[in-house]
Structure formats: C-alpha cells, structure tokens
Amino acid sequence: MAAERIDRLTQARERVVERRAWWLFSPRVDVCVFVGSALVSLALLWVGARAGVLDSDSPDWTWIPAVLLVDVAHVYATAFRVYFDAEELRRRAWLYTLAPAIALALSIALYSESDALFWRALAYLAVFHFVRQQYGWVAMYRARAGERGRAGWAIDAAAVYMATLYPLAYWHAHLPRRFWWFLAGDFAQTPVWVERVAFPVYCLALGAYAVRSVYGWIVGGRGNPGKDIVVVTTAVCWYAGIVAFNSDYAFTVTNVVIHGVPYIALVFWYARLRAPHTGRTYRALARWPVFLATLWVLAYAEELFWDRGVWHERAWLFGAAWDWSSLKVFLVPVLALPQMTHYVLDGFVWRRRGNPQLSILTDGAGNE
C-alpha cells in the first residue's frame, strides 16, 4: 500500500511538472497576457461599434492607451534587454552599436531620396517584425514543451505564418483601404489573384493545425495550450482587424494590443530574471511600477517630438507645433530610430542560440 501511494504521488508530481512545461511564465500570467490582450482587443471592437467610431480614425481615447502606452512603449522595452544591461551590452557591443548606426544612415539616405520610399521601407520592416514575433511565440512554446518533430514544426509554422500573411495579402489586394500601417500609400498594390491563391492555403494551414492539435489533446494524450492560444488569437485578431473590418480603429485595437502587451510582459520577466545579476540601477528599474513608468515616459517624450516637430495633431497633449520642416530629413529618421533598432535587434536577442540565459524560459520536458 505504501509503495502504491508513493507511485501515485510520483505520477501526480510528474503531471504537475508536465503541465508547468506548457507555459512560458505561469498558467495565470500566460492566459492573462495572450488571451487577455486578445479579449481586450475584441471588446474594444464592440466599444467602437457602440461609440460609432468604426468608420473613422482612432479617437484620442483609443490612441493614448493602445498606441502611446502599448505600441510605442513596447519599443523601449528593448532597452531593458540590451542597453540598460551593462553585461549584455558588453557581450555584443559591436551589434548593439552598429545596428542603430547603420539603421540611421540608411534611413537618412532613404528619406533624402523620397519620404514615401522611407515610409514604405519602414512599413515593410515593421510588418516583418510583427509577423516574426507571432512565430517567435510559437517557437518558444514548442521549445518549452520539448517539441522537436519536423512535421509538427512545419504545421505550426505554416499555421501562424498564414494567420498573419493571408490578411496582409487581402490588404494588399484590396487597396486603397480606410487604414494603413504608417501613412497612406505605404503598401504596394498586388493583383487580386494573390489573395485568392493565398486563401485556400490559409484554410489548409489552419485546418491542419486544428486537426493536429485535437489529435494531440484527445488521442495523443498531450497538448500545448499556450501554442494553441497564440495561433487562435493571432488568426482571430488579424482577420478581424484587417479583413472583416475596413477601419483604422479596428486595425489599431486588434493589431497593437496583442503585439505590445505580450512583449512588455516578456521583457519584464527577463528584467526580473537579470536583476539579481546586475547593478543597483537596473535592479531598481526592474520593479514593475518603475519599469512601466520608464517605458511610458520614454514613449511620451518620443511622441512629443513627433507631434510638435512632424505631425502637429495633438497640441492639447504635447504642446504647440515647432517649425522644423527644414530639418525633417534628419528629424524623421532620428525619431524613427528607436523602432528600427527594436525591429532589427528583436531578431537577435530572443533567439535561444546565442542567448543561453533564455534557457530558463524555453527549456521544458517531453518530446513530440
């Protein structure tokens, strides 16, 4: 009897360990970050419909929390991953110095040739970053659960990529839309047949993922709930924000919330992980009230310069406009530099290869 009780306790502990390997942070945090941000996005669609703003530009009461406090703020979270961490900065000093320097030089060259060319290049760099981030979450959940099979990887990758690429194909094939990424005309028109070819691939990829996921839960005896959440919320929010609605408001609330909130959570997790091994200043910054306040102050400062020096749209929030039109060839690339640096470095700093300190997040149990 004692041996049987020990066996049952051992099996129970193994099940607990296995279930913990489902999640990047914890069950509660993962659900709040990924499901919560998606539900907030969809709830804001309902609010927008009730408020009558689905057919207009995003109002300030949406722009401030969604764009300023999430989208712009999450860009500066990269500083906690790189520039505020003296040890990390020394580890790859050439990368972290040359990346913004080269980005700035290329930006000035592009903008001096054509502001339209600059914004188009920046828009496609941003699109690449947004798409790759969703794949990155899937890759992290696969690593956390110990999934290594090539067939499973192909199905997962196809699903999350098509969840983003098909709405983008629809967008490009149905220009002009009532919304854009940065500025009107920053996307190039593509033939309608591109979207028509992409649609069955989109359905097939998501269908194959659904079949494999159901098989894993019901027949195989193991699933990956975090990965399922990322794929489903990505598919729902990208389709709703780009295809289902032709609305700047809808695109804004569905696009930036599910992108920025999980990234901020990831960097905060990393900052807390690094805090015991860094200096006193970093440890102070890694406390969540200071962490968020730092991101929001930096975001506000950037948007103040954008608005007063370039856009001149929100004097009530940022103050009177400055006449810096003669400096735009330098001003615009400098102001865009934080997001360009974020886009570029994000492709390096979250790869497990070359970043062994990330193993605590992605190392899990089990095999596919």
Q: Given a cut of 50, is residue 319 above it in pLDDT?
A: yes
Dist. CA 284–CA 287, nearest whole Å: 6
CA distances from 265 to 28, 79, 183, 300, 351 (A): 13, 14, 29, 20, 17
Structure tokens at 156: 């997962």
pLDDT at res. 9 = 37
Neighbour-count burial for 114-137, b at 16+ CB within 10 Å, e otherwise: eeeebbbbbbebbbebbbbbbbbb
CA distances from 179 to 49, 54, 246, 252, 353 (A): 16, 11, 7, 9, 38
Identify the domain containing residue 195 by its residue range: 24-348
Q: What is the pTM of this model?
A: 0.91
pLDDT tens for each residue of 67-111: 999 999 999 999 999 999 999 999 999 999 999 999 999 999 999
Q: Given a cut of 80, is residue 220 above it in pLDDT?
A: no
Element spanning 140, H or E? helix 115-145
Element spanning 337, H or E? helix 328-349
Structure tokens at 115: 């502001």
pLDDT at res. 12 = 38
Dist. CA 177–CA 223, nearest whole Å: 39
pLDDT at res. 365 = 42
Instruction: Report the range out of 49-53, 207-211, 363-367 with the highest average pLDDT.
Output: 207-211
Q: What is the three-class DSSP state of 177? A: coil
Instruction: Answer for the pair 310, 325: CB distance below 8 angstroms, yes or no.
Output: no
Dist. CA 73–CA 296, nearest whole Å: 6
Of 16-20, 58-62, 122-126, 177-181, the range with the lowest mean pLDDT is: 16-20
Please indicate whether residue 191 or residue 357 has the higher confidence score (pLDDT).
191
Of 4-13, 256-265, 293-302, the range with the lowest mean pLDDT is: 4-13
Domain assignment present for 11: no
Domain assignment present for 264: yes
Domain assignment present for 3: no
Q: Where are the alpha helices (DSSP H) in 177-247?
A: 192-214, 225-238
pLDDT at res. 278 = 85
Structure tokens at 126: 């941003």
Q: Given a cut of 50, is residue 7 above it in pLDDT?
A: no
Domain assignment present for 355: no
Please compute the mean of the pLDDT values over residues 154-172 and round it to a whole number: 98
Domain assignment present for 12: no
pLDDT at res. 280 = 87
Domain assignment present for 2: no
pLDDT at res. 353 = 80
pLDDT at res. 31 = 96
Q: Given a cut of 60, is residue 192 above it in pLDDT?
A: yes
Please indicate whether residue 12 or residue 139 has the higher confidence score (pLDDT).
139
Nearest to 101 by CA among 333, 354, 302, 306: 333
Residues belonging to the chain: 368
Number of structural domains in the chain: 1
The HSE-up count of residue 198 (CA atoms within 13 Å, CB side) is: 21
Domain assignment present for 8: no
Domain assignment present for 71: yes
pLDDT tens for each residue of 248-276: 999 999 999 999 999 999 999 989 988 88
